[in-house]
Amino acid sequence: MPNFQQVAAKANEYGLYILLLTMPLTGIARTILLGQPFGLLFGQVPTLVEPDPALRSVFAQAHDIGATALMVLIGLHAGAALFHRLVLGDDVMQRMLPMGTGPRLKSDPAE
């Protein structure tokens, strides 16, 4: 792959990881700042803090922006994978498979 595609792929990958970590945090902060008990998995979390509408609004906006950014990055990631497979016909998708499960390339010295 050309260098700019490698940089774009890494930026997309890191962006996805960052958003996948921050989205639950902003969502939980938004819920906690309601100042009410809430259900989590199989239990109930008691009220942890007093309601703070201003701070809750900040986390709600961050959560909404993060959700939009996550959808965009997922779309770009899927689009790039399809571009490599259908247009370029290269082995990028096979290289993403766990070791040993993808088809061998002709330049593989193990052949």
Tell whether the model's pLDDT for residue 73 goes beyond 90.
yes
Q: Is residue 21 part of a domain?
A: yes
Looking at the structure of the chain, the number of domains it has is 1
The parent domain of residue 86 ranges over 3-95
pLDDT digits (tens, 9 = 90+) for 6-59: 899 899 999 999 999 999 999 989 988 988 888 888 888 888 888 889 999 999
> Cα–Cα distance between 63 and 45 in angstroms, integer?
21
- pLDDT band of residue 101 (cuts 50, 70, 90) is low
Q: Is residue 47 part of a domain?
A: yes
Q: Is residue 35 part of a domain?
A: yes
